[in-house]
Amino acid sequence: MSDDPKLTAQRRDSLGSSVSRRMRKAGQIPGSIYGHKQEAISFAVSADDLNPIIASGHKVVDFEIDGSVDKALIQDVQWNTFSTYVQHVDLLRVDANERVSTSVEIVVRGISPGVLAGGILEQIHHELPIECPVIRLPEQIVIRVTDLKMGGAIHVSDIPLPTDCTTTLPPEEVVVHVVEPRKAPEPDENEIASSAEPEVVGAKEEDSEE
Amino acid sequence: MALMPKRVKHRKSQRGRIKGNATRGNTLAFGDWGLQSLEPGTITGKTIEACRIAAMQYIRGEGKLYIRVFPHKPVTARPLETRMGKGKGEPDRWVAVVKPGTVLFEIAGASHDAARDCFARVAHKLPMKVRLLQRTHGTH
């Protein structure tokens, strides 16, 4: 039995923005599933079923439609402007041992000694693009910063990835670092005087032509 | 000093209308906390600078502030006590055009209480309703 959550959907034949809007009002979320060179299917799924799965960080679901169950990767989730509800979901058909490319959330845990010394913990990347088999896809990647001192950094190469997982980011890329707080530079008097009005592109050429 | 572009293609621009919600720049990109606009409007360079100063005085050394808007648009004004006509006024200030949903500021490396209090000070200076955004699991 798979650990992946089950998502049951109904096939939908009526497409378009107005139908989708009415569907969302009725508590359904429109979506589509594609991949494996099979036909793309438009479906509707209950918001009460889908939202907990998205909130839990699961990327792979057991997708049931018309009585058949497929493994599917949550490929894309569209939110409304204020990120209050899901507008549409894209699923990709996958096999259990197939390698997929997706992004996994990076979660920073612990209190860094550098922060206690007055530094600022800056997280450069909040998601890590990874490529791995579907069955090994992690929900999140946890980075512990309990040993991170002032000026120290955790690079992509320092992140422990599950077996068979690779990332497309270069290994020397900084993910999290602790930096000293910087003071804002004082504005230069000459700069203030010279920048009362911005330079107009092509203004001199026009004057010379005249 | 107030923000403004270094180089522009035209000194003056037409007023325009702010229609619809933000479809870009409406999610957290850098920090863990953000201030999101709930109404359309414009923010002047002076206001952005005032917000920056208010925020920096509060989070001093505790977090990093990101400003996500820039005043690209010139607004012209007529001199006081002048008659109508004689052409368009001269550039008076620079404003950032803000649609509902635009993330205006972000803070990284600060606690929830610090970010909330800091953005409350910033919100007092802004000409529109805003809300606090938090980077959470399962959203974007």
- DSSP annotation string for B70-91: ---EEEEEPPTT--S-SS--EE
Beta bridge partners of A86: A79
Amino acid at A160: P
Q: For position A209, what pLDDT does the model report?
A: 52
Identify the helix (H) or strand (E) that includes residue A115: helix A113-116
> Would you call A35 helix, strand, or coil by DSSP?
strand
Q: How close A6 gets to chain B, by Cα (Å)?
A: 17
Q: CA torsion sign, A11 to A12 to A17 to A22?
A: negative
Is A31 within 8 Å of A9 (Cβ atoms)?
Answer: yes
Q: Determine the distance in angstroms separating the CA of A102 from the nearest CA of chain B, rounded to an integer.
A: 15
B interface residues, A as partner, C-beta within 8 Å = 1, 4-11, 21-23, 26-27, 32, 36, 38, 56, 60-64, 91, 100-101, 108-109, 133, 135, 137-140
CB A86 within 8 A of CB A76: no
The answer to whether A85 faces chain B, any CB pair under 8 Å, is: no
Q: Is the model's pLDDT at A161 over the cut of 90?
A: no
Domains in chain A (CATH in brackets) are 6-94 (2.40.240.10), 103-179 (2.170.120.20)
For an interface test with B, give the residue of A54, A58, A81 to mutate (most B CBs within 10 A). Answer: A81
Could you give phi then psi for residue B118, rounded to 5 degrees? Answer: -65, -45
* B59 three-class SS: helix
Q: Provide the terminal-to-terminal Cα distance of chain A, rounded to the nearest Å.
A: 81
Burial class (CB in 10 A: 0-12, 13-18, 19+), A41: middle
**In angstroms, rounded to a whole number, what is the distance separating the alpha carbons of residues B118 and B114?**
6
Best A74, A76, A83 member to test B by mutation, with max B CBs in 10 Å, is: A83
Per DSSP, the three-state class of A144 is: strand
**Bigger pLDDT: B21 vs A198:** B21
Sheet holding B130-134, edge to edge: B64-67, B103-108, B33-37, B130-134
Quick one: tokens of B19? 């229609």
- The string of pLDDT tens digits covering residues A90-115 is 999 998 888 889 888 898 888 888 88
CA distance A184 to A202: 33
Residue A181 has what pLDDT?
Answer: 79
- Tens of pLDDT, residue by residue over A166-185, are 999 999 999 999 988 776 66
Token representation of residue B43: 């923010």
Averaged pLDDT, A188-198: 64
Using an 8 Å Cβ cutoff, are B31 and A159 in contact? no
Which residue, among A10, A6, A12, has the nearest Cα to A72 in the 3D structure?
A: A6
Our separate counts of H helices and E strands in chain B read 2, 8
Position B128: which residue type?
A: M
What confidence tens digit (pLDDT) does each residue in B68-123 have?
A: 999 999 999 999 999 999 999 999 999 999 999 999 999 988 888 889 999 999 99
Residue position matching structure tokens 């009362």: A196
What are the residues whose beta carbons fall under 8 Å from the beta carbon of A70, sequence distance 6 or more? A33, A62, A63, A93
Please count the residues of chain A.
Answer: 210
| Residue of A176, A94, A99 whose CA lies nearest to A130 | A99
Q: Among B64, B90, B133, pick the best mutation site for testing chain A contact (most A Cβ within 10 A).
A: B64
Q: Give me the pLDDT at residue A198, please.
A: 87
Q: What is the pLDDT confidence band of residue B140, given thresholds at 50, 70 and 90?
A: low
